[in-house]
Structure formats: C-alpha cells, structure tokens
Structure 1
C-alpha cells in the first residue's frame, strides 16, 4: 500500500482544523501592533506549531496509530465473528415469525375482512 505523502487528508476528515496564523489570530482595524511584531508573531506561531506537532507525532504518533489499528481490528473482528452472525440468526428467526403471523392473520382476519368487503360492495351511490 502506497501512502500519499503530499495529500495526507484525501477524504477531508480534518477540514475543521484550521491552524493557519490568519485563522487563529487577527487584529481589527484600529488595533494594530507594530509590523515587525506582527511578522515575528506569525513566524513564531508557524515555527512552534510545526515543531510541537512534529515532536508530538514523533513521540506519540506511532503508538496512537498502533492503538487505533487494534481498535478497528477489534471492531472488524466483532462484526465478522459476532454481530453479523447474530443479525443473520435474527433475520432467519424473524422470517419464521413473519410466516406464522401472516398465516394466523390470513386465517383469523381475512374471512372477516372479506365479509365486510362483500357487505359494503353492494352499497352504491
């Protein structure tokens, strides 16, 4: 499996995470800092954001990825070996119940409905 090192969020799972300087800090008109402070702030923000993110992923990323792999493997295991067979068993049992219900309704309710239908069939405008 090849990993795309350029587009790391091809399905847009983290579109809500905006971590650009302009999305976090903004100065309104009338409240501007000195230009060099604003430029250095943007540089510091981007530097520390990148550095901290890289350090956190270096120390924790692989372990967290392994944990998520185990979680999704467990989910797949339970679905394949437990949940899907139980759902199939319920479908089989419900099919029998449906057949019994239809038979009982046909025996008990159908004659009454046919009699009422025949009675009202003779009424015309």
Structure 2
C-alpha cells in the first residue's frame, strides 16, 4: 500500500481545497496601500518559511500519533458497522416485513369489504 503512495499529490480527492495557506491567499495589499517592495518580499519569505517550518515540526511531533488515533477511530466505526449496525438493520428489516404483512392482512379483512360496499353504493350514481 505504501508503494502506491503519491508523494507529490497528497490531496488527490481535493478534500482540503478550503484550506488556503499560501501567502497570496492570506495576505494582499490593495491598490493605493502598498508597502515598500523589500518589506513585501521579506514578508513573503518569512511567511512561507515559518509556515513550512511550523507545519513540519507540528506534523513531526503530532502527525503520526494523530494518524494512529484516526486509524483506530475509523477501524472502530467499521467494526461497529460490520458487527452491530448492519445486522441490527437486517433484523429490523425482517421484523418490519412481518409487521407489513400483518397490516396488509388486517386491512384487507377489515377495510376492503367496507370500501367495496361503498364502491357498490356509489357505483349507481352517474352524472
């Protein structure tokens, strides 16, 4: 599985498109309010350097543990679905089928004769 890991495109399904962390997406000077060019260039360099450094340190210190925790969480969810939720839904579906059949039987015994009688009664009225 690790052999197929794409190290260049780490978000192939674009699930984090909403996170904009480039300098141009976060900081912008409108027309008429420009700083000195060297300040803007150094700001870009500092932002990019600190963003990369802090992100790499955070992932180094916490990323593996957090990934392990999320792996356990999703394994637990999968376990509950396979061993509890899906069988419970199947049991509910089976019980509802019996209840549905009983309801149809009772309606056909009790309501159908009344509906047929009213139908015959109003059958003779014509426009």
* Short-chain TM bin: over 0.9
Q: Please report how far the alpha carbon of residue 6 of structure 1 lies from its aligned counterpart in structure 2 after TM superposition.
A: 1.1
In structure 1, the gaps of 5 or more residues are: none
Taking structure 1 as the reference length, the TM-score comes to: 0.97
Aligned residues: 125
SS of the counterpart of 1:64? helix
Match of 1:43 among 31, 42, 45: 45
CA offset digits 1:65-120 (Å, max 9, x no partner): 00000000000000111111111110111111001000000000000111111112
CA offset digits 1:43-79 (Å, max 9, x no partner): 1101111111111111111100000000000000001
Does residue 57 in structure 1 map to residue 59 in structure 2?
yes
In structure 1, the residue matched to 2:16 is: 14
Map of 1:98-113 to 2, 5 A cutoff?
98-113=100-115
In structure 2, the gaps of 5 or more residues are: none
In structure 1, the residue matched to 2:77 is: 75
User: What do you get for the CA RMSD once the two structures are aligned?
Assistant: 0.7
CA offset digits 1:6-46 (Å, max 9, x no partner): 11111110000011101111111221110000000001101
Alpha-carbon separation, structure 1, partners of 2:38 and 2:58: 30
In structure 1, the residue matched to 2:117 is: 115
Taking structure 2 as the reference length, the TM-score comes to: 0.96
Alpha-carbon separation, structure 2, partners of 1:66 and 1:13: 20
Does residue 94 in structure 1 map to residue 101 in structure 2?
no
> Segments of 4+ in structure 1 off by > 3 A?
none
